Structure 1
Amino acid sequence: MPPIHSHPAVLSRLASASAAPVPVRNGPAPDPASRHAWRVSTGRAPRLALRTLAASVLALAGWVPLGAQAQTVYVSSEKDHKIHVMDAAGKLQSSIGVCQRPRDLKPSPDRTRLYVVCGDSNQLGVIDRASGKQIDSVKLGDSPELLDLSPDGKTAYVTIEDESVLAAYDLASKKPLFKIKTGGEPEGVLITPDGKTAYVTSEDANVVHVIDLAARKVVKDIKAGQRPRRFALSPDGKELWVSNELGASVSVIDTGSQSVKATLEFKIAGLRASDITPVGVTMTRDGQTAWVSLGRANQVAEVDVASRQVRRTVLAGKRAWGLALSPDEAVLYVTNGLSDDMTLIDTRQGKAIRTVAAGRVPHTPLVLVR
C-alpha cells in the first residue's frame, strides 16, 4: 500500500477540496444558526469535513471499513487447538485454548457463548465469550464434522462422520437425544428457521438428506453434485444452495418441491475443473449475492443469485474454504487451510484488502459484534 499521504483516493479528495473557490461573506456577522446555514450552503463546514475526511483516511490506512471497530472475528485453528480472536482488520487480540482439532463454530442465540466442534477429541467445546475461556464440553460421537443449533439454542445437531449419522444433543444436560442414519461421510447440516427440518449432505452418497426432526427420519434424498459439502439458505427460505466439491458446482434446491432446480458450474481460465473445489457458501441478507469459496482454485466467486451468473472471482490464499461476512457485509473473511492465513476481501470493490496469519490450518471464521 502506498503511504497514506500519497494514496490516489486521498490525493483526489484533497485536491478537490483545495481547488474549490472560497466565497466571501460581507456585512455584519450573522447569528449562529444563520452562520451554520451559510457554511453548509457554501461548502464551508471545515471541521465536519475534516473529521469526515480524517475518518476515511484512517479507515483506508488501516484497511478497516468505517463502523467495523465493534466487530470480533473468531477463527478456529485445527492444528493449534485454539480459537484465535481478532479485530475487524485481522489483528490478533488473544487466543482461546479449546479441545483437540477445533473446526466448525456457532454462537448461542444470545451471543454470550460459542460452540466449537472438535474432531480429534470428539467433543463440543463451550466457550464463554466474556472470559475468553472454554468452560464446558459435550461428549460427541467419533469424528464429528459440522454443527447447527435449534432456533431456541437448546439442541445441537452434529454430523458424525465415522458413524454416518446426524446426532442431536441436549446442551443443558449434555446428553445425546437421538441419532439419524445418513449416507457415508455426512458433513453439512442446516436446521430450518422453524426448527422442523434438517438438511444434511452425504459426501459419499452425493445426496442431500431431508430430515423430519419430529419424526426423526429421512423423508427424502435429493441427488446433488459430486461430494456435496455445505449450505446457504436464501433469506426467503425458498432456495437452498449446496456446494459440490468434486463437481466444481453449486446445486440450487427448491425447498418447496425439494428438488434441484438449477446447477451453477464454475469455470476459471487456466484451471482444470478438478482444481475448482467449492466448499464454503454464504449469502447476503438481501438474497441478491452469494459468495462461494473455490478451494484448490485459491479463489472465491461472487455470484448474482437471480441470474446465477458469476460476477467476478477474487484471489485468496491456498485452499480457500471457510467464509464469513462482516455484519455490514462490506468485508468477506476467507480462511485458507493450506497457507495458514485468512484473506479479507472488500466486497464492494471485489478486491483482497489484506491477508493475515490465522494459525495452523484455520477452518471456520465467525464474525460477531462485541
Structure 2
Amino acid sequence: MNKPPTLGFIACATVAAMLLLIAAGVAGAAESRNATGQVFVSSEKDDAVAAYSAASRQLIAVWRQCKRPRHLQLSPDRRRLYVACSDDSRVDVVDVASRKTVASLPVGDDPELFDLSPDGRTLYVSNEEDGLLSAYDIASGKKVFAIKVGEEPEGVKASPDGKRVYVTSEVANLVHVIDVASRKLVRNIQVGNRPRRLLLAMDGKELWVTNELAASVSVIRTDTLEVVQTIAFAPKGLRAEDVTPVGLVASSDGKRAYIGLGRANHVAVVDVASRRVLDYVLVGRRAWGLALTRDNALLYVANGLSDDVSVVDTASNKAVTTLKAGRVPHSVAIDD
C-alpha cells in the first residue's frame, strides 16, 4: 500500500455558507449522479476520515476531520457525508466528490450516533452526556426539538414514513419511541442489557436492537411495539462474555442481516424471515461498524482493536481482504 497522504486540518465553513450549501444539498436530492466509488472510514483516535477505492481497495486520501469522528452516514442523494464529531459537539458535512468539509452543525454535547429523516431534511442525534434525542432542521441549522430519554442514548433510527424516531438507552436497557408530530416520547420498550444500535427489517415491520452485554438482538414489532423474539449468538469456542453485538446492517433485499459481535471477532449472518443464525464469519478484533455494497456482494467491517477493516465476500461468508485503517476505526460508509 502507498504511504497515506499527510493529515491536514480543514477549516469550518462560515454560518452563511453552511446554510446555503446544506440547503442546496437537500434541494438537489432528486438529481441523479454517478457514484464516486469511495469507501469512507472514520478513525476515532486519529481524528481523521479515510477514503478508499471500492474498485482497487487502495487508500485514496486521509484527512483530519475533527475530534473523535465516529458515526458516518450518506445523505439520501449521496452527495454529502455526515460525520459525528463527538468531542467537538457537532456534525460535519463533507462533499463526497471533493472530500471537503462544506458545513458544520452544532448539535450539543457528545453526539454519538444520528440518523436522517427519509427526506433528508432533519437530523436526529443522540447526545450521550445529556441523555437527549435532539432534532435539527438541516437547511436552517436550527434545533427543532429535544426530548429527554434514558441515560447514555446511542442508536437512532427514523421510521421509513418519518413519523417516528427510535432511540436506545444503554443504561436504562430501553428503546424509546418518539412521535415526531407531537414531539413526545410515547413508549419505552424493555430490551436486553446495554442496547446499542438499531435496524429496521421486514419493510419496517420489525425493529432489531443489538444488546451488547446480553449477546443478543431483540426483535420488536413496530405495530404493537412489543418484543416478539430474542436472537441469541453463541459462536463455538468463545466465552459468552466476549460476544458483544453492536453494529448491524441488512441486505437491500431484506433477506439477510449481519451483526458485528464485537470482542468475539466475528460477524453473525442471520436469515431475516426465520430469524435464524446461518453462519459466523471471522473478521478482525472488536467488529462493530458494518456497511454493505449496494449489490450486497461485499460487507465492510470496521475492527476497532485491530485498526483495520475486513472485507467479507457475502457469497462465501469469508473475509477476502483486510484494509489497514487508522487507530480505532468506528464506522464505514460506501458511495458505490
Q: TM-score, normalised by structure 1?
A: 0.79
2:210 is matched with 243
- Superposed CA offset, 1:84-135 (max 9, x none): 0001253111123312111111112221111111011111101111221112
1:149 is matched with 116
User: What displacement does 1:304 show?
Assistant: 1.2
Amino acid at match of 1:294: L
* Number of aligned positions between the proteins: 301
2:38 is matched with 72
User: What displacement does 1:235 show?
Assistant: 4.5
- Superposed CA offset, 1:300-357 (max 9, x none): 0111122222111111111000000011100000000011100000000011101111
Q: 1:324 aligns with which of 291, 298, 319?
A: 291
1:132 is matched with 99
Q: 2:53 aligns with which of 67, 87, 95?
A: 87
Give the distance between the partners of 1:267 and 1:75, measured in 2 at CA: 28
Where do 5+ consecutive residues of structure 1 fail to align? 1-68
Amino acid at match of 2:318: K
Give the distance between the partners of 1:296 and 1:240, measured in 2 at CA: 24
Amino acid at match of 1:359: G
1:300 is aligned to 2:260 = no
Give the distance between the partners of 1:356 and 1:131, measured in 2 at CA: 22
Give the distance between the partners of 2:216 and 2:235, measured in 1 at CA: 12
**What's the secondary structure of 1:120's corresponding residue?**
helix
Give the distance between the partners of 2:279 and 2:330, measured in 1 at CA: 24
**What's the secondary structure of 2:327's corresponding residue?**
coil
Structure with larger Rg: 1
Give the distance between the partners of 1:73 and 1:151, measured in 2 at CA: 22
Amino acid at match of 1:341: D
Superposition RMSD in Å: 1.2
**What's the secondary structure of 1:274's corresponding residue?**
helix
User: What displacement does 1:181 show?
Assistant: 0.6
1:102-113 map, 5 Å: 102-113=69-80
1:221 is aligned to 2:191 = no
1:193 is aligned to 2:166 = no
Identity rate of aligned residues, in percent?
A: 55
Give the distance between the partners of 2:200 and 2:72, measured in 1 at CA: 18
Where do 5+ consecutive residues of structure 2 fail to align? 1-34
1:202 is aligned to 2:190 = no
| Higher strand proportion (structure 1 or 2) | 2
1:163 is matched with 130
| Higher helix proportion (structure 1 or 2) | 1
1:257-336 map, 5 Å: 257-336=224-303
Give the distance between the partners of 1:211 and 1:70, measured in 2 at CA: 35
Q: TM-score, normalised by structure 2?
A: 0.87
User: What displacement does 1:82 show?
Assistant: 1.5
Deviation above 2 Å: which 4+ runs of structure 1? none
1:29 is matched with none
